[in-house]
Structure 1
């Protein structure tokens, strides 16, 4: 929970940000044509309705319940 949203902010393609800039790790999702598919895979793992650019302090308990990825 300490880092909730960090991975999503870094991998986002920019469609969820005010300035439209992708996260600093988006380019590592593959070649241009692979990126969209690989991002979809991450969103499926996290949960489509859980993908959020919020910072940890902004998350509600409901937001955290939406995350499908297993916490360890």
Structure 2
């Protein structure tokens, strides 16, 4: 589950940055229509970060038990 979070975070935030700096997209958001707002990239990245946090907290709880 941690790897899914990392991939989503990199794809979402990376696509947002490349869209703003170089006016291009890659990864997950490149598959979306051109009319998709740029905040969708941030949402994908934040979802990835949330998955990373949840996965890390579950790992800590399992290590303490």
Q: TM-score of the superposition, structure 2-length normalised?
A: 0.38
- The structure having more radius of gyration, on CA atoms, is 2
Higher relative contact order (CA 8 A, sep 6+): 2
